[in-house]
Amino acid sequence: MSLRRSILTHGRAALVSLACVASGCSGADTAERRPAAKPAAKAPTAIPAAKAPLPEPEVHKATPAERVAAFAPVVLTADVSGLPANERAALDKIIEASRHMEPIFDVQAFEENPALREGLAEDGSAEGKAKAELFEIMRGPWDRQEHHKAFATDRPRPPGGGFYPPDFTADEFKAWLAAHPDDRPAFESLTTVIRRRADDLVAIPYSEAYAAHLGPAAEALRDAAKLTKNASLKRFLSSRAKALLSDDYYQSDKDWMDLDATIEVTIGPYETYEDELLGLKGAFEAFVTVADAAASADLKRFKGRLADMERHLPVGDELKTTRGGESPIRVVDLVFSAGDARKSVQTIAFNLPNDERVRAEKGAKKVLLRNLIAAKFETIMRPIGERALAAEHGADLDADAFFHQVLFHELSHSLGPAYVKRTGADGKEEEVELRVALGPVYSPLEEAKADVMGVYNLLYMIDEGELPAAMRRKALISYVAGLLRSLRFGVAEAHGKGAAIQLLFYAGSDAITVDPDGRLRVHPEILEHAVMSLTRELINVQALGSQGRAEAWMVRFDKLPPELAALLDGLADLPIDVRPIYPLAGEGTPG
């Protein structure tokens, strides 16, 4: 059985049409026909159908100390010698404010984290110390890269983290809103936690729930605003201080979009990955960075091509969205991170804000963490590619291609569907954000979409002459190596699940095959066709706006052929991710 036939048999089920997903039928292969794969030097190994759920890399028996060692320490810093004394002092105050995101995220991840940390600190044994260190990496007692496997508790992780009562369910949430429709705005808000009071449920604003830390954070931001001479930074720091205390981030998000300063700071509740129950609640985080104005200016041309990229998407115009055109791109070096930005897998770039009102007016800012991107490529991605891909692909593993993939991934978050329609409590049709409609499946779908659409748009820009033709093959080879890197995060993580979707789709299209020695061979011409096809599939799945239908589509990618699982096992000694060390924030090497 060929790799393609194997994937079709056990995972893709021939990638049924969206009409079929909607109605619940199965079996029809609607994927476009592709040219036959160019044969490898030897015939690829037959891949038997998988019979078990998508496995994780073989790390389940690793000790806490071995798990800690899987995250390689890297020093991240920036040249701040050109900052005047007042701006350097403002930077210190911003770092001070950002530190307050740590205790907030602690309880957002799990309300009992502070007590668990104290208990681990009392264990002076070698194993106890290793557990305590792993606890800090994972931001709790469960291993995020092993389906939240417990290592410092005997309890399973609540899917809703600390955003909801531990025993809370999605059905209870839906039932409450059905009985109390006026509560919907507060309950679905990005910035509330849900709590029980007697027999009732209440939505508590973040500004109230986390007042003990948001107050000092706001004060430090105000102090920084007084120190800086940059008008745009002063304006943002002042408005963000107000937002932390009011839960109204709209104006502050617009001020952040207009930020034009050497110090580039992102602080607040943004991503909803931590809410695996409903995908509604924003986790607090902070990125403190130093911008490179020249490098940012060099990428500015792509901001002006976003509308072209939207028009070029391989779907009908009804699935395309018009957003604001400002969409600045910032190339920065990371000097401190906190909260959701500093859990086990480190973010290398982001595309914010997520508020679709701001996106409609001004677009979204793309921030690329240059020093972290470079560290991950050299520490993790290049070694993965050299070991897992066919030997001749090694010459095409390219740091610049990887950097541009990250850029176009972030640009692609701003493309495609943004809203869907649903029937409101009053029986009238209303528009809701896609993240609300899709719930917890939104994140892996969106990450997969941004990945594959990013490659689609990168190839488009090569065709348009915006990037050199020599990057084409390097981009495709480096892309596949990057998918293996992301898959090692684990499929409990949005980027890992998104990578699994892509790899299985491409295997089912013969865009990648497995050589007799177990390495992956990439067929670039076929991969280009598959990238276009998967871009179309993902946009259509999102546009349905149905969590159930999206889950029905995604279940086709929940099994991994044993040969691909073995390939991941062979990477077990390589780092999964990095542990940042920030000298400018006074940090030294761990241990």
Domain boundaries, given as residue ranges, for the chain = 3-62+211-585, 64-69+84-209
Which residue type does 4 have? R
Give the whole-angstrom CA distance, residue 506 versus residue 500. Answer: 10
First to last CA, the chain: 50
Tokens, residue 451 = 């990945």
What's the CATH code, domain 3-62+211-585? 3.30.540.30
Burial 437-456 (b: 16+ CB within 10 A, else e): bbbbbbbbbbbbbbbbbbbb
Which among 428, 462, 444, 475 has a CA at the least distance from the CA of 538?
444
**Integer Cα distance of 69 and 421 in angstroms:** 47
How many other CB atoms are there within 10 angstroms of residue 583's CB atom?
13
Full pLDDT tens readout for the chain, 591 residues: 345 444 434 333 333 333 343 333 333 333 333 333 333 444 444 333 343 444 444 444 789 999 999 999 999 999 999 999 999 999 999 999 999 999 999 999 999 999 999 999 999 999 999 999 999 999 999 999 988 999 999 999 999 999 999 999 999 999 999 999 999 999 999 999 999 999 999 999 999 999 999 999 999 999 999 999 999 999 999 999 999 999 999 999 999 999 999 999 999 999 999 999 999 999 999 999 999 999 999 999 998 899 999 999 999 998 888 766 678 999 999 999 999 999 999 999 999 999 989 998 998 999 999 999 999 999 999 999 999 999 999 999 999 999 999 999 999 998 999 888 877 767 778 888 898 899 989 989 999 999 999 999 999 999 999 999 999 999 999 999 999 999 888 776 778 889 999 999 999 999 999 999 999 999 999 999 999 999 999 999 999 999 999 999 998 887 778 888 899 999 999 999 999 999 999 998 765
Taking 3-state DSSP, the helix, strand and coil percentages for the chain, each rounded to the nearest 5, stand at: 50, 15, 35
- Whole-model pTM: value is 0.85
User: Do 346 and 578 contact (CB within 8 A), yes or no?
Assistant: yes
The whole-angstrom separation of Cα 414 and Cα 574 is 33
